[in-house]
Amino acid sequence: MSASGFAAESLLNRAHEHAATFLRALPERYVGARASRGELMAALNVPLSQGGEDPSVVIDALAGQAERGAIACAGPRYFGFVIGGSLPVALAADWLISAWDQNPGLYATSPLTSVLEDTAREWLLDILDLPRASSLGFVTGCQMANFTCLAAARHGVLRRTGWNVEEDGLAGAPRVNLVTSAESHVTVDVAVRYLGFGTRHLLRVETDGQGRMRADRLRTLLGTLTGPTIICAQAGNVNTGAFDPLREIAEAARQHEAWLHVDGAFGLWARASREHSHLADGIEMADSWAADAHKWPNVPYDCGLAITRHPEYHRASMTSTAAYL
């Protein structure tokens, strides 16, 4: 083994020891941070040196602050936000992926990663019992999953009117009706901003006491609208866990030829449960779905899923070409 290879293996072993120590203590350790921001900054925000530092010292310094500054959100006694912990096999696979250091953007740059993603797509569509021809993209989380799905929706509803938003932009395009719940997640609002629509144009439908969109109010609203329409429903209200009446919403969307997107950050996974799948009844009728894999499936952060019934619109809204590709 070369000197550089030995050094790399030594560092990896050192990191493994630190990680194992952290994981062994996780079930019983204090859940919150033990150091203030100022204390962490004092320990970590040191001046850059001209000659660099010993790599093992850097690893030790980083790991040394985990006990004081890391939140035990992967442990069994964390009851804060909707945050999942990693299963051991998912963490181990993540280590391998980091060691391989692949660029997964193209098949040519990583055939292995491309095949792994295609396989995971098939498994996920099977587990969630969604249309098997659907496209599925891996993104950082539900923020970008909602953005990606709504970008496909924007392309789809405008393309049906003869407008190519990727080439011609939104200026002069037919107005798109954007319908969402009064209690939709903030990531939907942010996605709408990113896509150039603006939140002021959102048409918000009244919810019930549990935060579910009222299907009767949706039908009334849709009856007043003309032109391309996108509806954003929700599977799992972040405050109550409630699911919108998805079958009724889907039927209304189809009646009015609207695109139905479902933000299922954690609720989409009810489809994988015999006991709870009824909560998501009708969700399979949607045009797109967003979910987090770093919640119920317990894979490391970050991992989200953007799924669409219409691969051609998904591809058109995201594809770029260049001579070097």
- Per-residue pLDDT for the chain (325 aa), expressed as one digit of tens each? 565 676 889 999 999 999 999 999 999 999 999 999 999 999 999 999 999 999 999 999 999 999 999 999 999 999 988 888 899 999 999 999 999 999 998 999 999 999 999 999 999 999 999 999 999 999 999 999 999 999 999 999 999 999 999 999 999 999 999 999 999 999 999 999 999 999 999 999 999 999 999 999 999 999 999 999 999 999 999 999 999 999 999 999 999 999 999 999 999 999 999 999 999 999 999 999 999 999 999 999 999 999 999 999 999 999 988 888 7
**CA-based max dimension of the chain:** 72
Whole-Å CA distances, 158 to 177, 201, 232, 235, 263: 11, 17, 17, 26, 21
Give every CB contact of residue 247 below 8 A, 6+ residues apart in sequence: 281, 282, 285
Quick one: CA dihedral 256, 151, 170, 161, positive or negative? negative
Residue spans of alpha helices (H) in 239-288: 246-255
Sole residue written with tokens 């010993």: 54
Predicted local distance difference test score (pLDDT) of residue 3: 57
To the question of pTM greater than 0.85 for the whole model, the response is: yes
Which token pair is 284?
């399979």
